[in-house]
Amino acid sequence: MVLRASVARPCPLRGDARTVTFMSARHAPRLSRTLSVLAGGLALALGACAADARDATETIPASGDAITMPTETTETPLPMGDIVATALTNHVFTQLAGLAIDAGLVETLRGGPFTVFAPTDAAFAKLPLDVLHAVQDDPATLATVLTHHVVAGSISPDQLVAGELTTVAGTTLTVTVVDGTTYVEGNAVGAGVEATNGYVYVMSEVLVPALGDIIDVATTLPGFATLADLVTRAGLVETLQGDGPFTVFAPIDSAFDALPSATLNAVLADSNLLTTVLTYHVVAGAFTTDMLEPGTLTTVAGVDLTITKKDGVTYIDGNPILVQNVRATNGVIHVIGAVLVPQT
């Protein structure tokens, strides 16, 4: 009970508000859990309020809006005892700490030794509102996704080398090193701190295990109903269920809603055009963001996408990737807030 009271619970987000305000712990009400994980794998979502030592406002990007990316911490977390104590006492991990409590993982994480790739509050805040509005509690999947961030054993920074790591969830994390920067599943690894029972590394992204193929993710994930419907209409389901691998830049529902109705109707009325537009979002091969270099990338439609990078954000034809490196069993999905239109 003392441990639960020390973490402010997330509060539910209502309506279509696009701004999330993080309140200091003394003002945050005790609320029941509002985050759950949908079986598609990406539907990790958080509420609007979390404990933090500073008051700050972060803007979550949505289709058609100006993009203000969540503020990342550049500070090294302070060692405060074991892994749980370190998460609880460093204000950038309040969401993760609360979720570990909800999933009943506190006692487990006090054992070990373990290495934890810990997403910050800003990492959780990057997830689109389309996902947040449709979540339901799923404790088993929540535990799987959280333990996907945990590896048995204490891995120091000099031991974190390119290769594969098996997580406590039984899933695999791929470690790469590019130009001196270490990545896990294509996501840059931040500062690491040694706890009494392992290491905690700062991650600016939530790591999502591959819990199905690309179609499994698209058809079960809240916020992708339109994309799933169009893929079915175009007869691309079997293709995207194939071995691949594929990289899919997946627009959320609000991206399709932002299209002029005449444009969408014209695409729906022309099966060839629909196929071209959809396959313009698909690239052969599995590319995590650390592998996406500035330049062009040829799509399955035979038309090139333009890749740019700025301040750690990857842009596809000028549109930022909102949630990156979502693993599927036959590729990688990157969530974007706009429909990509080929220039032919």
pLDDT for residue 128 = 62
Q: Are 329 and 209 in contact (CB under 8 A)?
A: no
Average the pLDDT over each of 61-65, 143-147, 321-325 and give the range with the smallest value.
Answer: 61-65
pLDDT for residue 282 = 96
Q: Average pLDDT, stretch 55-64?
A: 35
Please count the residues of the chain: 344
Domains of the chain: 2-203 (2.30.180.10), 214-336 (2.30.180.10)
Q: How far apart are CA 306 and CA 297, in angstroms?
A: 7
Q: Average pLDDT, stretch 34-54?
A: 31
Backbone φ/ψ region at 199: left (φ over 0), alpha (ψ -120 to 50), beta: beta
Higher pLDDT, 36 or 198: 198
pLDDT for residue 341 = 87
Higher pLDDT, 130 or 84: 84
Q: What is the pLDDT of residues 304-316, one digit of tens each?
A: 999 999 988 899 9
**Does the pLDDT at position 276 exceed 90?**
yes
Q: How far apart are CA 72 and CA 99, in angstroms?
A: 20
pLDDT for residue 137 = 59
Helix (H) or strand (E) holding 153: none
